[in-house]
Amino acid sequence: MNKDLFARYDIPAPRYTSYPTVPYWKEDQFTPEDWGKYVRAAFSDDRDISLYIHLPFCESLCTYCGCNKHITKNHKLEHPYIEALLKEWRLYLDAMPGRPVLRELHLGGGTPTFFRPEALRFLLENILRDVTVPETRDFGFEAHPWSASEDHLKTLYELGFRRISIGVQDFDEELMALVNRKQTVESVVRCTEQARAIGYESVNFDLIFGLPKQNISHIRKNAEMVAQLRPDRIAFYSYAHVPWLKRSQCAYSEADLPVGAAKRALYEGGRSWFLSESYEEIGMDHFALPHDPLSKALREGALHRNFMGYTPYKTRLMIGLGASAIGDTWDAFAQNEKNVAQYQQRVQEGHFPVFKGHRLTAEDRRIRQHILRLMTQFETHWTPEEAQTDAMSAALARLEPLLADGLVAIRPFHLQVSPEGRAFLRNICLAFDAHYWRKQPDGQIFSKTV
C-alpha cells in the first residue's frame, strides 16, 4: 500500500449515492404539483417501481450514527407516523395512472424494528394492497439485532420480505459500548439463525471500519464471525466522520479515530479475509457470495446503485416515503421534510412533503451515468461526440494526476479503474462532478474519501 497516495488523496468528497449530490439540490426547486408531474411521467414510461420507507425512530443514540433519526422511547409515535406514511402513499397512487409493479422495497431507518410487528403489518398490508408483487423482487429491511424479535422476522417474511440487513457494525461489545450501542454477539447470532430458519434467502451484515479505537484485531474478529455465520452480503462501510453535522460524534476523541493509510489498512485486512472466504467485491465497500443476486448482477453487467445501496434491479421511478426520504424519477430528485412533526403536518395538509430537490439537465444525466458505471462496474466510456464537450475535457484534465499515479487507465473513449484505484473511487468520481468544480461548498460538508 502506497502511504503517499493516502496522504494526497484522503480529501473530503461525496459518497455519490446520487449525482448531483444532495448539497447541490435547492429548496423550492419545484412545487408539490411539479413533483407529481415528474412522478406521473416516470411511471408512464415504466410501471416497475422501487419503494423506500423511512422509519426514523431509535430508542437510544449510537453516537457514531450519520443517519436521519429521531431518538425516543415513546411508542405512541408509531401510529400517527404510519397514518402519515399511508396518506403520503395515497398521494403517490393518485399520481400514478395504473397499478405499480413493486420490484424493490426497503425499510430503512432509524430502526425499522422499533415499530411493533403488528404496526409494520398494518402499514405494509395497506401498501401492498395497491401494487403487483412480482416473483423476482428484492424486499429487504434493516434490523437492529437488539430489537428485531422472531415475531418481526416472521411477520415481514409473511409479507414477502426475503432479505434482512442486520446492523452489526462491530462484534466487539466493548467497542460498541464506547459508541453507546447496546448489542451482544449472541443477539447477532440469534437474529441470523432465526432469519435462516424462517426462510430468508439473503442475510446482510452492516460492518463499519474506522470506528474509534478500532484496530486490525477487531477486524480479524469480525472476519472470523463472518466466516462462521456466512452472511450472503456484507456492507463494509467506511466510518463517515462529520461532527459538524452529527454532534453526537463529538462524544469521542478524534485522536482515537484511525485515519488515512491506517484506516485503509483496516479495509484491506477485512477485504482480504472476505475474499479468502469466497466473497466477491461488488462495488465500493460491498461484498457478496457468488450465489447472491448482487454477484450475479455484477457478472451480467446489471448491477445498479440507488439511495438504498447496491441492487440487482433498476427502476426508473424510486419513491421515498417518510421524513427525510428521497425520491428519484431519473429526471428529478426530491427530499422530504426531515423533521418528523413537520413531515406529518405537510402530509396532513394533503401535499407531497418535499422541501428540496433538483431537476437534472442533459449534462447532469450524462455525468450521472459515468458515476453510476464507475460505482457498479469500475469503468466508464463515452462517445466521440461527448469527448468534444467542455464537461468531458475538464474531467479528463482533472484525471491526469490520477492517471500518472496508476489509479485509472484511459484509452480513447474509455476509463478503467485499476486495482489500486478502487481505494480512491470517490476521488475518481469527483473528477467528473461538474457541480462540485463550478462551486465548491463553503465550509465542511463531506466526509473524507478513505
Ligand X SMILES: C[S@@+](CC[C@H](N)C(=O)[O-])C[C@H]1O[C@@H](n2cnc3c(N)ncnc32)[C@H](O)[C@@H]1O
Among 111, 222, 329, 344, binds ligand X (CB under 6 A): 111
Q: Residue 108: is the preceding peptide bond cis (ω within 30°)?
A: no
Tell me: does residue 240 bind ligand X (CB under 6 A).
Answer: yes
DSSP state for residue 447 in the 8-state scheme:
P
Give whichever of 100 and 309 is closer to ligand X, judged by the CB atom: 309
Contact 301, 377 (CB under 8 A): yes
Contact 148, 169 (CB under 8 A): no
d(CA 145, CA 189): 9
Q: Which stretch binds ligand X (CB under 6 A): 19-27, 151-159, 171-179, 234-242?
A: 234-242
Distance of closest approach, residue 93 Cβ to ligand X, in angstroms: 26
Among 108, 231, 283, 353, binds ligand X (CB under 6 A): 108
| Closest to 271 measured CA to CA, from 214, 204, 226, 211 | 226
DSSP secondary structure letters along 344-367: HHHHHTTS--EEEEEEPPHHHHHH
Give whichever of 88 and 206 is closer to ligand X, judged by the CB atom: 206
Among 20, 56, 167, 421, binds ligand X (CB under 6 A): 167
Contact 433, 14 (CB under 8 A): yes
Distance of closest approach, residue 130 Cβ to ligand X, in angstroms: 26
d(CA 29, CA 19): 16
Among 237, 343, 378, 436, binds ligand X (CB under 6 A): 237
Task: Please list the residues that pair with 140 across neighbouring strands.
Answer: 106, 163
Using CB under 6 A, which residues numbered 327 to 386 contact ligand X?
none
- CA-based diameter of the chain, in Å? 60
Among 208, 261, 360, 407, binds ligand X (CB under 6 A): 208
Select the residue whose beta carbon is closest to ligand X and give its number: 167
Q: Which stretch binds ligand X (CB under 6 A): 63-71, 224-232, 318-326, 378-386?
A: 63-71
Tell me: does residue 206 bind ligand X (CB under 6 A).
Answer: yes
281 membership: H or E segment, kind and range = strand 280-283
Give whichever of 206 and 433 is closer to ligand X, judged by the CB atom: 206
Give whichever of 269 and 309 is closer to ligand X, judged by the CB atom: 309
Among 139, 239, 313, 355, binds ligand X (CB under 6 A): 239
d(CA 317, CA 43): 7
CA angle, corner 108, sides to 370 and 19, nearest 5? Answer: 20
Among 10, 142, 285, 364, binds ligand X (CB under 6 A): 142
Q: Which stretch binds ligand X (CB under 6 A): 6-14, 44-52, 104-112, 415-423?
A: 104-112
**What length does the chain have?**
450
Please count the residues of this chain forming the interface with ligand X, following the rule CB under 6 A.
18
Tell me: does residue 20 bind ligand X (CB under 6 A).
Answer: no
284 membership: H or E segment, kind and range = none
The alpha carbon of residue 316 and the mean position of all alpha carbons in its chain are separated, in whole angstroms, by 17
Residues that bind ligand X (CB under 6 A): 58, 64-67, 108-111, 142, 144, 167, 169, 206, 208, 237, 239-240
